[in-house]
Amino acid sequence: MELPRRAGGDELVGPGELAAVRARLRNIAPKHDLKTVIACAFDHRTRMLPFIYADMRIIPAGVRAVGSAMVAAGFEKTRIVLQQWNRNFRPSQMRLDGTIPDLFLISSAQLHLAQCKAMIRDACRMDPANRPLIIVGGPLVIYEPWEVFSADPEDPWAADAAVTGEEYILMNLLEAVLSVRADGESMRSAFARARDSGALDELPGLVYAKGARDCVSEELIDTGVQRLVGDLDELPDPVLGYGLLEPPGGGGQLGSQALPLDRVSKYGPIGSLVMTLGCKFSCPYCPIPAYNQRQYRTKSGDRIAEEVQRLYSECNIRMFFGADDNFFNDRARTLEIAETLASKVDAGSRPHCKVRWGTEATIHDTLAMREHLPLIRRAGMWALWMGVEDMSGTLVRKGQTADKTLEAFALLRENGIFPVPMMMHHDSQALYTRKDNSGLLNQVRLLRKAGALYMQVLMLSPSPGSKLYVETYESGLAYKSVGRVPVEPYIGDGNYVIASRAEDPWRKQLNILIAYFYFYNPLNFLLALFRSKSDIPMAACETSPGAGRRGGLGRRLSRRICAHMADAAVQLFGMWGLAHTVRRTFVWAIRLMRGPIERSTSAPTSRIPMRGADGKRASHAIPGTPEKLDD
């Protein structure tokens, strides 16, 4: 079920509102002197292709954005803890400047629900008089906010609030709570008074418990779908967030200091870069268009260029991944960004000549930008992840066909950009076909032949917030358990078959592994040593076309060798990642083979009654959610 759309014209906050709320918070920040810990939940059982390595080496955009917002609002005593780096972190042991923090914020995706709950439970073990205010955000609560509240008296734990939106909603919440907070009062106490007085009901984007006692929730109040910040230039400087990171470690406590900026790239060499948000397509399995309220939001080229320069200069980050849903969605806005970055390169700006970045786009929009690809490469684009899905168009049609996909690949490679296909396996797709190229292996072969160095193959799975989500469960397509083992959230990343009508779903599970092995194998490694797919125009250059001629002969030769060997290196990496993937998913294939398979009959819903702040149906409630009867 998609998120409801706000009334026309009410999807976005007014220009300058985010900056205004930050300014108001900065004025009162010295009085409150808040200490904040922000944790990114991470379940290490999810480490496999195609996300392995990147899952540990990219600083997640969500927690970094929240940290930046806190510092920009004047709350500089903030620390970001990544469970990727600190898997033994215990909230009950956290101390910042020697004291328990006032706020404990958690960001989590659905995959990492188990770790999110574990952190909330651990925090709830603290003395209630000293416990910080617990607020959860991220994709998990954007679509399923009830997951961070408990109604079981035998298992008492709960967050105090769920922020079902972006950092603007958190800033509004803090302003409302601090406006009623008395000197020396805890944030939990101030939050409870603001909640009970109705001061939070007019802030869309929140879910909180009403009648909660001892971490047991009786009813959830939903204030509605968030309003979005339309101009992404209003977002705070990301460098602020990079300066808050807890150094990697094996203990449960916080270190005395955050990771110095000049050491960030040692552990997080790939920076997340928000450039655009939104997509014009409406794929039924994707929640992105509804989340963005059918809006397309961008940063200006000047702002992006400034962020790249600061992150390069202060953090030594040279590789970026754009958090874009479809970078080529709007031609005019794409060109404004590309022209600005390319002008920096043409002017000889060292950061902009050195950095490389990748992002996502569709086949259809890539072909529409064909004449601008040289400019986009000069702007620094190094790789483009493309939603190929199924080249036959059987699963979904976004203007992609086999011919168009191969044409897009050729155009990108001719212009020095590596194409990275993202494929989606589904019930109606065979492993191999003789008469056409609709089979999974047929398409993998075509993509490798067309020049793909890296790829991902995932099984179509239920995605919260998508059009097909409820139907997938109610139709019996989704599994409830396999081999008497419940389908847990951490296996919902597409690597596991958890929704299928195939008579032998274990074959689908093995198909994914076979496709990966067909792409990453010793033979392809040996072929890559002699017929490299990575030796494309500008592969041996820095961003600037003239950079390939700079430096001595040894430097140019070194770059050329690295460019040639990159394909073989990716093959080795892929085989290493495949070993982890087989280790984690092969047992699931055995369970699928042996059974029994129990199918779901309804989508996961809140066990706690939910209602809107206005007394109507809660915006985030899935059909079947209980409603509390009036006394």
pLDDT, one tens digit per residue, over 419-466 is 999 999 999 999 999 989 999 999 999 999 999 999 999 999 999 999
Under the banding of pLDDT at 50, 70 and 90, the label for residue 264 is very high
pLDDT at 133: 97
Query: Do the Cβ atoms of 542 and 549 come closer than 8 Å?
Result: no
Instruction: Report which secondary-structure segment, H or E, holds 78.
Output: strand 78-82
Q: CA 427, 433, 435 angle in degrees (round to 5)?
A: 130
Q: Which three-class secondary structure state does DSSP give residue 44? A: helix
* Mean pLDDT, the chain, integer: 93
Q: What is the pLDDT of residues 557-594, one digit of tens each?
A: 888 888 999 999 999 999 999 999 999 999 999 999 99
pLDDT at 433: 94
* pLDDT beyond 90 at 193: yes
Task: Provide the CB-side half-sphere exposure for 410 (13 A, CA).
Answer: 7
Residues in contact with 103: Cβ distance below 8 Å, sequence separation at least 6, in sequence order: 34, 35, 36, 37, 132, 133, 135, 187
Q: What is the mean pLDDT of residues 66-94?
A: 98
Taking alpha carbons only, the member of 358, 284, 269, 274 closest to residue 316 is 269
Query: Do the Cβ atoms of 80 and 64 come closer than 8 Å?
Result: yes
Chain centre to alpha carbon of residue 387: 16
Note the pTM of the prediction, 2 decimals. Answer: 0.95
Give percent of the chain above pLDDT 90. 87
pLDDT at 540: 74
pLDDT at 397: 67
Q: What is the mean pLDDT of residues 31-49?
A: 97
pLDDT at 630: 59
pLDDT at 548: 46
Residues carrying CATH 3.80.30.20, the chain:
259-592
pLDDT at 19: 96
Query: Do the Cβ atoms of 203 and 173 come closer than 8 Å?
Result: yes
* pLDDT beyond 60 at 26: yes
Residue whose pair of structure tokens reads 């460019």 in the numeric block: 563
Instruction: Report which secondary-structure segment, H or E, holds 479.
Output: strand 479-482
Cα 253 from Cα 361, distance rounded (Å): 41
* pLDDT beyond 50 at 518: yes
Q: What is the mean pLDDT of residues 607-616?
A: 94
Q: What is the mean pLDDT of residues 190-199?
A: 95
CATH no. of 259-592? 3.80.30.20
pLDDT at 212: 60
Taking alpha carbons only, the member of 449, 469, 448, 450 closest to residue 460 is 469
Q: What is the mean pLDDT of residues 302-321?
A: 96
